[in-house]
């Protein structure tokens, strides 16, 4: 039963995310289409109303879903149905209901004969935008990993830039439509009118001010002044966000540059030999470029128990990459996890030598190695995520190839003795593994 629930969670999570994106598209539709329809006085086709009915139904369904959606409180996922209902009724239900009710359809029935209120009634459709906070909250409260999903959404730079651009475009579209309403655009093509309005908007917001399109009335001039003021704030927000995103992207490079500068100054002061300097710089280049040093430093701040838990799953990831272990039980792999040790190899260091007796296999976590034949001729290069020497766990035979480090390498090592100790506890899997070896490596059957 527990395994079935674990399999269902990714599916439920994907469906929840898909549903949230459908709701976001519906909100975006209202945010862009309503101002354009009002400003250009477009006769809405019949499918507009059909889409309204469909989106209204979807928003009503979403309210029902929100009554059953867990929420995050003090980093704890609340799944109690009563608490979920109380939380939703208290926090967002009223706004969601106001945003979902089709006020425009209701008022159109009452005021069908009065065309003076058509624009005002259509603007009520913008109330659907009030659903946006609820959709984002629902997107964060995916089943089982609410805190993790919330943090990823909050820290993902791409999502932040996307959300900023979404709101900027909604606001720019609304401002352009406002300019259309304040200026004489009669007897012109609607598409040409919108392009001209958007052109004026960008020129004004960007403070370029070509002056080829100017407001002709006092109300239009006041509107232009307000747009300029909004544009200054919007322009600063966009520049600030993009600059922060770029700065965060370059933070690791800056960190590497600062460490190298301090290291170079130190070694020059004490006249460290050039050969030693080269080895030190090579190591730190590997350490700062290939390894997630910032994450490593943060993990060092965790309690010892949590660090051991993380190390356990890192090692488990390595073991699962080996084809021989694909059919091993989770318990068997977890027992082997504690047997892995780590080591660092320097460039040109021999890790495995052809002809030696094999007693370990290796997992390449970072770096690059090359495999040489008995005559030291290069055969293949292995990069991070690869493994080698696995036959040593299964048969105590001589190494058939030499493996040499090309760069600084982080390796995980699994010894034959530890592997045999674990296999003694899982005789069924040991028998399966022996059968696989006999099938794949018939030349080893007599060794």
What pLDDT sits at residue 4? 46
For 154, residues 6+ apart whose C-beta sits below 8 A from its C-beta are: none
Tens digit of each residue's pLDDT (9 = 90 or more) over 145-194:
555 555 555 555 666 677 777 888 888 898 888 888 888 766 678 888 88
Alpha helices (H) along 321-352 = 330-337
What pLDDT sits at residue 152? 54
Q: What percent of the chain has pLDDT over 90?
A: 4
What pLDDT sits at residue 114? 55
Tens digit of each residue's pLDDT (9 = 90 or more) over 285-303:
766 655 444 455 556 667 8
What pLDDT sits at residue 369? 93
Taking phi first (over 0 means left), then psi (-120 to 50 degrees means alpha), and beta for anything else, what does residue 292 get?
Answer: beta
Q: Is the pLDDT of residue 403 over 90?
A: yes
Tens digit of each residue's pLDDT (9 = 90 or more) over 335-363:
888 888 888 888 889 999 988 888 888 98
Q: Is the pLDDT of residue 397 over 50?
A: yes
Tens digit of each residue's pLDDT (9 = 90 or more) over 207-262:
777 777 777 788 888 888 888 888 777 777 777 776 776 666 666 667 777 777 88
Counting Cβ atoms within 10 Å, is residue 322 exposed (0-12), middle (13-18) or buried (19+)? middle
Alpha helices (H) along 338-409 = 391-394
Whether 77 contacts 70, CB under 8 Å:
yes
Tens digit of each residue's pLDDT (9 = 90 or more) over 68-118:
877 766 656 677 888 888 888 888 888 888 888 888 777 777 765 555 666
Tens digit of each residue's pLDDT (9 = 90 or more) over 38-79:
888 877 778 888 888 898 899 899 888 888 877 766 656 677
- Mean pLDDT of the 272-282 span: 81
Distance CA 77, CA 144 (A): 8
What pLDDT sits at residue 389? 86
- Mean pLDDT of the 121-138 span: 77
What pLDDT sits at residue 419? 87
Q: Angle CA(406)–CA(410)–CA(414) in degrees, nearest 5?
A: 115
Q: What percent of the chain has pLDDT over 70?
A: 78
What pLDDT sits at residue 404? 94
Whether 436 contacts 353, CB under 8 Å:
no
What pLDDT sits at residue 402? 92
> Residue 313: which pLDDT band, with cuts at 50, 70 and 90?
confident
Alpha helices (H) along 156-217 = 157-182, 190-205
- Mean pLDDT of the 417-424 span: 87
Q: Is the pLDDT of residue 399 over 80?
A: yes
Tens digit of each residue's pLDDT (9 = 90 or more) over 363-380:
888 888 999 988 888 989
What pLDDT sits at residue 2? 39
């Amino acid at each position: 039963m527990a395994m079935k629930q674990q399999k269902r969670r990714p599916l439920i999570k994907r469906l929840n995310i898909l549903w949230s994106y459908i709701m976001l598209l519906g909100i975006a539709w209202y945010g862009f289409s309503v101002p354009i329809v009002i400003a250009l006085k477009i006769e809405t086709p019949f499918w507009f109303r059909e889409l309204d009915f469909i989106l209204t139904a979807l928003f009503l369904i979403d309210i029902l879903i929100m009554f059953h959606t867990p929420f995050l409180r003090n980093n704890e996922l609340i799944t109690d149905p009563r608490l979920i209902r109380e939380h939703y009724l208290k926090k967002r239900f009223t706004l969601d209901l106001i945003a979902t009710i089709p006020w425009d359809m209701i008022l159109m029935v009452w005021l069908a004969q009065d065309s003076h209120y058509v624009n005002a009634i259509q603007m009520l459709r913008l109330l659907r935008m009030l659903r946006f906070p609820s959709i984002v909250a629902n997107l964060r409260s995916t089943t089982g990993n609410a805190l993790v999903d919330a943090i990823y959404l909050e820290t993902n730079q791409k999502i932040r830039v996307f959300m900023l651009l979404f709101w900027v475009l909604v606001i720019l579209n609304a401002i352009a439509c406002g300019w259309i309403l304040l200026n004489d655009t009669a007897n012109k093509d609607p598409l040409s009118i919108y392009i001209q309005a958007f052109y004026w908007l960008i020129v004004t917001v960007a403070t370029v001010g070509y002056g080829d399109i100017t407001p002709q009335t006092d109300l239009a001039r006041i509107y232009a002044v307000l747009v300029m003021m909004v544009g200054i704030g919007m322009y600063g927000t966009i520049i600030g966000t993009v600059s922060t995103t770029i700065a965060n992207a370059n933070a690791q490079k800056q960190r590497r540059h600062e460490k190298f500068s301090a290291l170079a100054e130190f070694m020059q002061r004490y006249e460290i030999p050039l050969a030693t300097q080269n080895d030190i710089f090579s190591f730190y280049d590997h350490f700062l470029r290939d390894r997630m040093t910032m994450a490593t430093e943060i993990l060092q701040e965790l309690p010892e128990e949590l660090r051991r838990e993380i190390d356990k799953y890192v090692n488990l990831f390595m073991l699962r990459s080996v084809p021989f272990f694909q059919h091993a039980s989770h318990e068997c792999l977890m027992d082997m996890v504690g047997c892995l040790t780590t080591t660092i190899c320097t460039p040109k260091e021999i890790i495995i030598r052809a002809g030696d007796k094999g007693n370990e296999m290796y997992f390449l976590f970072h770096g690059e190695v090359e495999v040489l034949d008995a005559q030291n001729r290069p055969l293949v290069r292995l990069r991070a995520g690869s493994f080698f020497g696995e036959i040593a766990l299964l048969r105590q035979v001589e190494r058939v190839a030499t493996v040499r480090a090309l760069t600084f390498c982080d390796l995980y090592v699994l010894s034959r003795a530890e592997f045999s100790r674990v296999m003694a506890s899982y005789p069924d899997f040991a028998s399966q593994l022996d059968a696989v070896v006999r099938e794949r490596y018939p030349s080893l059957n007599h060794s």
